[in-house]
Structure 1
Amino acid sequence: MGHQLLVLGAGTAGTMVVNKLRRLLDPEEWAITVVDRDDEHHYQPGYLMVPFGSMAPEAVVRSRHAQLADGVRFITAEVDRIDTDADVVLLADGTRLHYDQLVIASGTTPRPDQTPGMDGSLWRESVHEFYTLEGAVALRQALEHFDGGRLVVHVTELPIKCPVAPLEFTFLAESWLREHGRRDRVEIVYVTPLSGAFTKPVASRRLGHLLEERKVLVEPDFMVERIDEEKHALVSFDEREVPFDLLVTVPLNMGADFVARSGLGDELNYVPVDRETFLATGHTNVFAIGDASNIPTSKAGSVAHFSVDVFAENFLDHVAGRPLTHRFDGHANCFVESGDGKALLIDFNYDVEPLPGKFPLPFVGPMTLLDESRVNHYGKQAFPWVYWNVLLPGRPLPLPAAMSMAGKSIPPETRMTGEDA
């Protein structure tokens, strides 16, 4: 057989990579194999909707192999480690898979075990998360039985998958409590390691204002050290305490353990890569894409989408021996559900933070950037169909991979360095 392309992970990024490259690479010359631990592909943005009953748990899950193009080999197995010297991936059952080119797309997962007390006696009782389907289902039950008290929404540390999701949960919970006549009996606190509601100043001010309007207390600069199970409280390294009756936390996110075992990861198991081309540092035939890499931008589906567009073009040049001339600019955009049938939209990249304006057409929209609207909410509602039928199959969307400044308002303080992103 000809060349072997091996992709580790059949999530959002891995699935898009193999579907795009299956169309672009000659099947007589290239065999494509993808490995994942199970055959369940989860629509992860749906996790946020499950606790409020607006998406059924079964609607979140489909078969992984059913999303892959014909001619792609799918293996269900755990990865033990990668031997980059021998160009071999070793599976947990002892199988050895040779590769000519390797793409690591193993994502990131919540690790409550990394924070003392988080996954202890209160776990799934009064301490919950919505970054797994199991967690979202358990949280739905907890919310239904939560009649009053202190609801604390908490982010352990960045980076996390979809960094706006904790804010979205806060807005949606506040709206849901009002709808169910419980809001006046609940104090809501948003606890973050950041100095404000979001990482970028303009968006942080706008989102912080929305929290203030909804009477949500923000506890900033909070670096959690442990959860005190007896006191039912978050405790920071500087010994501040935030008591809770119901805690909805975002645990520390980490990359796959096999990345660490292979000596390819940083301290959080993310693969260091060139942030514009995704080529793994120190390697000529290993790439990391999506949440598995350490690029300094949001770990979000939109980043996977835009980066895969750039990666596919570069990969063709790479295997033909040409230089990698296509550059990823860190483009990300995402809807921010704000409750009451409205949402915001943010659009940004490595160098430019989220700005107000119109999207995708300058001055026309129909979506608004950094302002609540029903149109944005409808866009978010339509996204599951786009995800399953356009993005995952690798079909083109009429959105350029590079961010456009057209139609955006530019306050003078918006220029940043990539390290701030």
Structure 2
Amino acid sequence: MHVLILGAGTAGTMAAAGLRHHLDQGHRITVVDVDDRHVYQPGQLLLPFGTYRESQLVRSRRAVLPRGVDVVTGEVDSVDTAAAKVRLVDGSELSYDQLVIATGTTPRPDQTPGMLDGAGLARGVHEFYTLEGSIALREALARFQGGRLVVDIADNPIKCPVAPLEFTFLADAFLRARGLRDATELVYVTPLDGAFTKEVCSKRLGGMLGDRGISMEADFLLEHVDADAGRIVSYDEREVDFDLLVAVPVNMGADFVARAGLGDELNHVRVDPHTLQAVDHPNVWAVGDAANLPTSKAGSVAHFSMPVLVTNVSDAIAGRAPSASFDGHSNCFIESGDGKALLIDFNYEVEPLPGTYPLPRIGLPLLKESRLNHWGKLGFRYLYWYFLLPDRPLPISSRMSMLGKHAA
């Protein structure tokens, strides 16, 4: 049997490690990606503020993939589900028995008129969802001397939905440290009706914005950017002026997903939210940000869903029906500035609640700012490289537990 994994980012690397550990060597595993650069994506949020250097965020894909996995460097052009073949842009073809799509989701500034100016972002427009964008934003913040700094989410879903809030809080602290906060108006613009999708969490985070003197423009669905005039315009013709715009562009899955008829309107693979099996394609699976799961597009979702993927792909190889079920478990650290952070933990059915994680009175505080959570966020980079990617065991259940949580 041949398992073909498209994508060697967070989800693809974890899938390769988990399947390699679970399947005997008679089953071949191949991973395909466009280059040999694995980027620690959570670090891109912190790089503009000087927490990390580029060298701390990038490693070779081949170095972090497990032994016994074949690696192919190339760009996927098409997937022929009827013939069970993947064609690369260079014309080569790869056949498969089981296909795992882990190509993630990508910011697409080309989807918003005016966000691009030629080959790059328009004047005054920046983003931190790519390494290059994060580096450019670091330089822009170093030059910034005050004015109107706007953080705008074009549309949802996006990779790491709390990251724009984190950036806003971090920018507030950064500007205060430089003596520029009084000279700066910070505005948080979102297509949501509040700061976050979950009610309890949204109320808490919205209150934090207000406490810091950060304005929020809600229900703002971005129609176009007018960089020359320094403003963004919504579909209902509201305008928000900016001197520096930190944009979160529309996020979309890989174009080959659409060409194969596997995706939704944003090219995210349509899957059963519990088995991760593609709709109408029993030997195709999607994991991580590439899947249209009704939960956050976050690395924790890829991690917590990985045992389900490994079990169900193994079941399929053995001729059995999928036996494992994913509950939508996700947790996220939320940097709030000044060396503090919050932590939220939730799933498909349960919204973020206060308490402690992972056990009652033991561990990290939930929905509460603390220095412990901040150090947990920084320490996660070590766990990522040395435990999550290589599929080493951690004493934390992949299913969400109500232990330690209480009603808001």
Bucket of the pairwise TM-score, normalised by the shorter protein: over 0.9
2-side partners of 1:286 and 1:123: how far apart? 35
Answering whether residue 319 of structure 2 is matched by residue 324 of structure 1, we say no
Deviation at 1:265, TM superposition (A): 1.2
1-side partners of 2:58 and 2:291: how far apart? 24
- 1:380 corresponds to: 377
Q: TM-score with structure 1 length normalisation? A: 0.95
Deviation at 1:326, TM superposition (A): 1.2
Q: Match for 2:295 among 275, 294, 297? A: 297
- 1:218 corresponds to: 216
2-side partners of 1:57 and 1:215: how far apart? 32
Give a deviation string over 1:62-87, Cα, whole Å, max 9, x none: 00011111110000001110000001
Deviation at 1:124, TM superposition (A): 5.8
Q: Match for 1:105 among 102, 105, 124? A: 102
Q: Is the partner of 1:276 in helix, strand or coil?
A: coil
2-side partners of 1:323 and 1:92: how far apart? 34
The AA in structure 2 aligned to 1:321 is G
2-side partners of 1:126 and 1:146: how far apart? 11
2-side partners of 1:123 and 1:267: how far apart? 24
Give a deviation string over 1:199-254, Cα, whole Å, max 9, x none: 11100011111111100000000001001223210100110000000000100000
The AA in structure 2 aligned to 1:298 is S
Map residues 14-413 of structure 1 onto 2, 5 A cutoff. Answer: 14-28=12-26, 30-120=27-117, 123=121, 125-365=123-363, 367-411=364-408
* Shift in CA distance, 60/124, structure 1 to aligned 2, threshold 3 Å: farther
> Where has structure 1 moved over 4 Å in runs of 4 or more?
none
1-side partners of 2:53 and 2:188: how far apart? 26
Give a deviation string over 1:377-421, Cα, whole Å, max 9, x none: 01011011100000000111111111011111124xxxxxxxxxx
- Report which stretch shifted further, 344-353 or 226-235: 226-235
- 1:417 corresponds to: none
Q: Is contact 1:50–1:137 with CA below 8 Å preserved after alignment?
A: yes
1-side partners of 2:263 and 2:349: how far apart? 25
Q: TM-score with structure 2 length normalisation? A: 0.98
2-side partners of 1:93 and 1:393: how far apart? 30
Count of aligned pairs between the two proteins: 407
After superposition, the CA RMSD in angstroms is 1.0
Unaligned runs of 5+ in 2: none
Q: Is the partner of 2:42 in helix, strand or coil?
A: helix
Give a deviation string over 1:165-202, Cα, whole Å, max 9, x none: 00000000000000111111000000000001111110
Unaligned runs of 5+ in 1: 412-421
Deviation at 1:309, TM superposition (A): 1.7
- Report which stretch shifted further, 277-286 or 113-122: 113-122
Q: Is the partner of 2:245 in helix, strand or coil?
A: strand
2-side partners of 1:350 and 1:50: how far apart? 31
Q: Is contact 2:74–2:89 with CA below 8 Å preserved after alignment?
A: yes
2-side partners of 1:212 and 1:390: how far apart? 38
Percent identity for Structure 1 against Structure 2 = 61
Q: Is contact 2:127–2:133 with CA below 8 Å preserved after alignment?
A: yes
1-side partners of 2:37 and 2:197: how far apart? 32
1-side partners of 2:11 and 2:303: how far apart? 7
2-side partners of 1:12 and 1:123: how far apart? 26
The AA in structure 2 aligned to 1:189 is V
Deviation at 1:48, TM superposition (A): 0.4
2-side partners of 1:20 and 1:398: how far apart? 16
